[in-house]
């Protein structure tokens, strides 16, 4: 087996402003694994909070010995890769995505069938509406006409005014992501009460990952809306510690090390009674279409990465009424652009 990888900078259509900062691009490493002329595609995306860089991902990938891999032993390969470090989750995800793509292509089946999933489309995917002026928000909402569901970034003092303004220009349901921007639980609960009357379906990571467990428990039990963890949960091993603190979690391939563990997380969430969202970082269609293979398992879908960038190296996902369509082609469904 041959492994190739190279850095690639994804350029955002709009500056991505959160409670924690602003950026205009996101570094990625694009990965290929090739066997007998068949190529599997993978991607590592590194938003700042993950703590990974182009250099760290490249260094991790350089340690691998693909010449020793046998695709029929995929589980053993992934276990071996995971054992090489306690971090490097996005780097591991890139290889996991590429190997699943390769294996499914060699078997002539869509990747989802490796996990026993037969769905031909996802639930509606949200499109993110970031922070900005009223004119910017109005423009973004207009550009989101193909989507049924909008994800609203909050975490600033004018959050209530922003939601009220957005609700005045669209009646689409909202998901809210505060990106750890709220600091006072009573203020948060009051704002959530208001959101619950504004056709908001859930609230994601409203407070910092350093928030004490007892505060999360208070928020969970008093909240008028489901509270989902994002930054507070990365991998399968995190679930036991948070099942009492949240109503649900956001599963992302870049956090979970890829498709294999993300699918296991869906299984465990079902056992624990946790709701699920499948989300993404700033990603091209490569990682996004891989995640879409599992999306029918989720309560909410937030796979909008390819729609927020202007230099996607793969063809954009096809939408039907805001749902990503899953073709019956072999692999993850990411097709390189000409």
Quick: pLDDT tens for 135-166. 999 999 999 999 999 999 999 899 999 999 99
Alpha helices, DSSP H only, in the chain? 54-62, 74-82, 89-107, 134-143, 159-169, 185-195, 213-222, 239-242, 253-256, 259-272, 285-292
Q: Which pLDDT belongs to residue 241?
A: 87
User: Which of 258, 276, 269, 277 shows the shortest CA–CA distance to 332?
Assistant: 258
What average pLDDT does this structure show over 246-267?
A: 98
Element (H, E) at 7: strand 2-18
Give the whole-number percent of the chain exceeding pLDDT 90.
92
| pLDDT classification of 330: cutoffs 50, 70, 90 | very high
What average pLDDT does this structure show over 203-226?
A: 97
| pLDDT classification of 299: cutoffs 50, 70, 90 | very high
| pLDDT classification of 132: cutoffs 50, 70, 90 | confident
Could you tell me the two tokens for 280? Answer: 């993404």
Q: What are phi and psi of 150, to 5 degrees?
A: -120, 140
User: Which of 293, 286, 315 shows the shortest CA–CA distance to 5?
Assistant: 286
Quick: pLDDT tens for 73-121. 999 999 999 999 999 999 999 999 999 999 999 999 999 999 999 998 8
Is residue 240 over pLDDT 70?
A: yes
- Compute the mean pLDDT over every residue in the chain, rounded to the nearest whole number: 96
Q: Which pLDDT belongs to residue 19?
A: 55
Q: Tell me the CA distances in angstroms from 301 to 60, 279, 285, 292, one per residue in order.
A: 30, 6, 15, 9
- Is the Cα dihedral 102, 106, 108, 113 positive or negative? negative
Give the whole-number percent of the chain exceeding pLDDT 70.
99
Residue with tokens 């369509």: 325
Domains of the chain (ranges; CATH) run 2-108 (3.30.390.10), 114-325 (3.20.20.120)
Is residue 228 over pLDDT 80?
A: yes
Q: Which pLDDT belongs to residue 20?
A: 59
Q: Which pLDDT belongs to residue 18?
A: 62
* 186 vs 17: which has the higher pLDDT: 186
- Is the Cα dihedral 75, 80, 86, 89 positive or negative? negative
């Amino acid at each position: 087996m041959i492994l190739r990888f190279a850095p690639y900078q994804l350029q955002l259509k709009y500056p991505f402003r959160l409670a924690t900062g602003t950026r205009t691009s996101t570094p990625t490493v694009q990965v290929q694994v090739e066997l007998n002329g068949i190529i599997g595609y993978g991607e590592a995306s590194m938003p700042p909070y993950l703590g990974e860089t182009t250099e760290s991902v490249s260094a991790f990938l350089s340690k691998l010995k693909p010449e020793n891999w046998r695709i029929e032993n995929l589980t053993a390969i992934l276990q071996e890769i995971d054992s090489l470090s306690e971090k490097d989750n996005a780097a591991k995800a890139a290889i996991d995505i590429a190997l699943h793509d390769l294996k499914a292509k060699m078997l002539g089946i869509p990747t989802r069938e490796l996990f026993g999933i037969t769905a031909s489309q996802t639930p509606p995917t949200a499109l993110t509406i970031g922070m900005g002026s009223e004119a910017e928000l109005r423009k973004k909402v207009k550009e989101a006409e193909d989507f049924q569901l909008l994800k609203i970034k909050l975490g600033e003092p004018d959050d209530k005014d922003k939601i009220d303004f957005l609700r005045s220009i669209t009646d689409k349901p909202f998901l809210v992501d505060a990106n750890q921007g709220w600091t006072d639980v009573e203020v948060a609960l009051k704002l959530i009460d208001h959101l619950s009357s504004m056709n908001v379906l859930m609230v994601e990571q409203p407070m910092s990952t350093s928030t004490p467990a007892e505060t999360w428990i208070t928020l969970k039990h008093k909240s008028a809306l489901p509270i989902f963890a994002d930054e507070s949960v990365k991998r399968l091993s995190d679930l036991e510690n948070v099942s009492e603190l949240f109503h649900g979690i956001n599963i992302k391939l870049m956090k979970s090390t890829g498709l294999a563990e993300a699918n296991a997380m869906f299984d465990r969430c079902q056992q624990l009674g946790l709701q699920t969202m499948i989300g993404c970082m700033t990603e091209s269609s490569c990682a996004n279409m891989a995640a879409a293979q599992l999306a029918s398992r989720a309560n909410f879908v937030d796979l909008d990465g390819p729609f927020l960038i202007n230099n996607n190296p793969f063809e954009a996902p096809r939408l039907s009424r805001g749902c990503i369509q899953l073709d019956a082609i072999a692999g993850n469904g990411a097709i390189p652009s000409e």
